Amino acid sequence: MHKILKENLIKNIFLIILFSLLYRVIQNFLINSSLVSDKASAGSIIVVTSIIAVTACFGNFAFTYEKINVKNSFQRYLAHFTTGLFMLVIGITLIFTSLLTTMIMGHFILINITLLLLYLACVGYDFWDVYRLSF
């Protein structure tokens, strides 16, 4: 396996571990906030997080590993850091969206499946972008 593929795999595993830790933190924050009783404000926060997620998705999909020098460690790590930040923002906003939607309308599995598929598509794109490199 090429070095950049291993690095990308490590980045994505790290993000999944980080999301599993952040999920409970975000959940506890939201449960202890005034949003539990103020569904209108919770809906407004969903709109804000959606705008943030869309912005991060634009950045993530606009970036390409093809424009870096794969042999330059600094460029590789900077690319992983940049895509990692975009994916971190996307993941956190999807966690917020999932939890806030549950607070507003109760548990709706189709929403959570859709959000999971969206994140998996981002991960798939991330790996596809690395695979496009000519080795």
Domain locations in the chain? 3-131
What is the per-residue pLDDT across 101-130, written as a single tens digit (0 to 9) for each? Answer: 999 999 999 999 999 999 999 999 999 999
Q: Which of 28, 34, 30, 17 minimizes the C-alpha distance to 97?
A: 30
- How high is the pLDDT of residue 1? 59
**Is residue 90 a contact partner of residue 60, using CB atoms and an 8 Å limit?**
yes
Helices 3-31 and 73-105: crossing angle in degrees, nearest 10, is 30
With b for 16 or more beta-carbon neighbours within 10 A and e for fewer, the 30-41 pattern comes to: beeeebeeeeee
Q: Is the pLDDT of residue 134 over 80?
A: no
Position 79 confidence tier, pLDDT thresholds 50, 70, 90: very high
Q: Is the pLDDT of residue 22 over 90?
A: yes
Ramachandran sector of residue 107 (left: φ over 0; alpha: ψ -120 to 50; beta: rest): beta
Write down the pTM of the prediction.
0.92
Residue 122's CB is within 10 A of a number of other CB atoms, namely: 22
What is the per-residue pLDDT across 29-62, written as a single tens digit (0 to 9) for each? Answer: 999 999 888 989 999 999 999 999 999 999 999 9
